[in-house]
């Protein structure tokens, strides 16, 4: 494939038609979600979030043209996807030369999108933003299943309204598809932790999809899932409980070994030694800095003593006094918002150690978050991190939205969760209070209010 100099154009009428179709498909799904979760404010929040994702698609086009001289990764995906769509329409199905796993997978997905919808930049971006949105819906469903007494309203408001989460995963690129892949994996994990073995299907689908794009991130999440499985307590013991335990460990071990091999090949690792891994991470991320205006790269130090700085780099940089551009100013405002969320969630953080003993889902979220903060701090580039960390937020924010009192005890996925006061969505999102009886759930004794 030869990336030509021409860019993919947009027909507003065409893009509007695609947006209308996606909205029409999503409305019944949102209504069904609100009914299933007994949360009448949820459909409005979901549809509003989808519209924000569409807005993010248009904003990225405008920002890239105005602030980055129209230079962006998505132009490459657009061009190669359009070339693939044209070749397929002419009966040619040659994928040679595409980097799979890696960017070539996004080229193929973009080609599929353009084959189905026609070649239109904004219209294609709407489809990718919809995929990213579905990933967030999967994360929310998993959270509801796994933490039935947690602060669901706060979690929903954060993941569906946070600017990063509707801006970055809204164009042709890895973030949108990886959001869907990781969301499917987390939903599958939540089901498995609840002994609903149908969860292996979304888990497998997300693993395969994500493994074809960023196998290292999939391996990180799968490793966290595998460790969390070891902490799970059987809710109902039977004669086949030991058999299920052994089969689960074998499956996790097998998938883990395959992912480890794929990740090693993807990163170019000849050995899993600590020295080789550090060298590979540093070499890879140094190469990523070329041409990046926001680069502040320094070699990554793997010492755990640097972890507080890793947290600062990934979550809070830049702060207002570090801003060097208009785009960084917006990032700084969001970083302050995240700091405020963490500060307001101190009760949730205090409850974290106690609830870790009860919820393998929470163990998985914590381990993934720590691993992500540790490894991805190696990027050392606020521009790249702004995009990459969107795949951390849905897991990280679980830690800040736990039930914070012990007023009741509820059965939850993987062994129980403490009940208590939950955060309510602002009244503007709901038209009327919901009767207490509508919050009945097979997973919870104490009805969630958020």
Could you give the CA distance from residue 186 to residue 218 in angstroms, rounded to a whole number? 11
CB-CB contact of 267 with 255 (8 Å) = no
| 5 is a domain residue | no
Could you give the CA distance from residue 44 to residue 165 in angstroms, rounded to a whole number? 17
Is it the case that residue 440 has pLDDT exceeding 70?
A: no
What pLDDT digit, counting tens, does each position of 353-412 carry? 999 988 999 999 999 999 999 888 887 778 888 899 999 999 999 999 998 765 434 433
| 101 is a domain residue | yes
For residue 68, what is the DSSP state?
A: S
Query: Which residue do the tokens 């971006």 mark?
Result: 125
Could you give the CA distance from residue 135 to residue 179 in angstroms, rounded to a whole number? 5
Nearest Cα to 401, choosing from 314, 358, 342, 441? 342
Could you give the CA distance from residue 361 to residue 144 in angstroms, rounded to a whole number? 11
> What local confidence, expressed as pLDDT, does residue 444 receive?
38
Strands (E), 371-437: 409-410, 417-418
Could you give the CA distance from residue 343 to residue 277 in angstroms, rounded to a whole number? 35
402 is in which domain, residue-wise?
Answer: 12-418
CB-CB contact of 98 with 108 (8 Å) = yes
Band of the pLDDT at 97, cuts 50, 70, 90? confident
| 83 is a domain residue | yes
Could you give the CA distance from residue 402 to residue 421 in angstroms, rounded to a whole number? 10
| 79 is a domain residue | yes
> What local confidence, expressed as pLDDT, does residue 100 receive?
87
Whether pTM > 0.75 for this model: the answer is: yes
| Terminal-to-terminal C-alpha distance of the chain | 50
Counting the structural domains of the chain, the total is: 1
Is it the case that residue 322 has pLDDT exceeding 70?
A: yes
| 432 is a domain residue | no
| 337 is a domain residue | yes
Residue 406, Cα to own-chain centre: how many angstroms? 30
| 283 is a domain residue | yes
Nearest Cα to 414, choosing from 230, 247, 242? 230
Which of the given ranges, 363-367, 411-415, 424-428, has the highest pLDDT on average? 363-367
| 216 is a domain residue | yes
The CA radius of gyration of the chain, in Å to the nearest whole number, is 22
What pLDDT digit, counting tens, does each position of 278-319 carry? 566 655 555 555 444 444 456 667 778 888 998 999 999 989
With 0-12 / 13-18 / 19 or more C-beta atoms within 10 angstroms meaning exposed / middle / buried, residue 25 is exposed
How far, in Å, are 182, 187, 244 from residue 198 at the CA level?
A: 17, 11, 14
What pLDDT digit, counting tens, does each position of 1-51 carry? 444 446 888 899 999 999 999 999 999 999 999 999 889 999 999 999 999
Residue 167, Cα to own-chain centre: how many angstroms? 13
């Amino acid at each position: 494939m030869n990336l030509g100099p021409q860019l993919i154009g947009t027909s507003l009428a065409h893009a509007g038609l695609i947006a209308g179709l996606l909205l029409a498909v999503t409305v019944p799904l949102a209504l069904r979600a609100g009914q299933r979760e007994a949360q009448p404010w949820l459909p409005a929040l979901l549809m509003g979030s989808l519209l924000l994702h569409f807005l993010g698609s248009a904003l990225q086009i405008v920002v890239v043209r105005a602030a980055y001289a129209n230079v962006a990764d998505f132009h490459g995906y657009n061009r190669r996807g359009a070339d693939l769509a044209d070749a397929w329409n002419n009966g040619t199905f040659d994928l040679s030369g595409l980097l799979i796993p890696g960017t070539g997978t996004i080229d193929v997905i973009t080609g599929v999108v353009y084959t189905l919808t026609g070649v239109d930049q904004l219209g294609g971006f709407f489809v990718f933003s919809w995929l990213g949105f579905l990933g967030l819906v999967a994360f929310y469903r998993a959270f509801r299943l796994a933490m039935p007494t947690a602060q669901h309203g706060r979690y929903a408001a954060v993941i569906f309204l946070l600017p990063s989460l509707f801006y970055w995963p809204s164009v042709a690129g890895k973030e949108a598809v990886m959001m869907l892949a990781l969301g499917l994996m987390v939903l599958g994990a939540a089901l498995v932790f609840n002994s609903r073995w149908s969860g292996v299907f979304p888990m497998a689908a997300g693993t395969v999809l994500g493994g074809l794009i960023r196998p290292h991130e999939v391996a990180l999440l799968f490793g966290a899932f595998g460790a969390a499985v070891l902490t799970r307590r059987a809710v109902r013991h039977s004669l086949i409980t030991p058999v299920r335990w052994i089969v689960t460990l074998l499956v996790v071990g097998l998938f883990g070994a395959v992912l480890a091999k794929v990740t090693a090949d993807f990163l170019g690792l000849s050995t899993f030694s600590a020295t080789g891994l550090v060298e590979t991470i540093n070499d890879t991320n140094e190469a990523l800095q070329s041409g990046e205006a926001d680069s502040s790269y320094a070699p990554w130090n793997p010492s755990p003593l640097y972890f507080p700085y890793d947290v600062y780099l990934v979550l809070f940089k830049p702060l207002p006094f570090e801003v060097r551009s208009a785009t960084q100013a917006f990032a700084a405002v969001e970083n302050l918002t995240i700091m405020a969320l963490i500060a307001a969630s101190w009760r949730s953080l205090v409850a974290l150690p106690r609830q870790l003993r009860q919820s393998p889902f929470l163990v998985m979220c914590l381990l993934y978050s720590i691993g992500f903060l540790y490894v991805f701090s190696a990027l050392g580039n606020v521009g790249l991190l702004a995009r990459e960390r969107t795949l951390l937020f849905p897991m990280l924010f679980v830690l800040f939205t736990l039930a914070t009192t012990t007023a009741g005890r509820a059965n939850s996925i993987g062994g129980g969760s403490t009940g208590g006061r939950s955060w309510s969505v602002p009244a503007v999102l709901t038209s009327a209070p919901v009767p207490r009886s509508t919050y009945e759930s097979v997973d919870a004794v104490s009805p969630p209010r958020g």
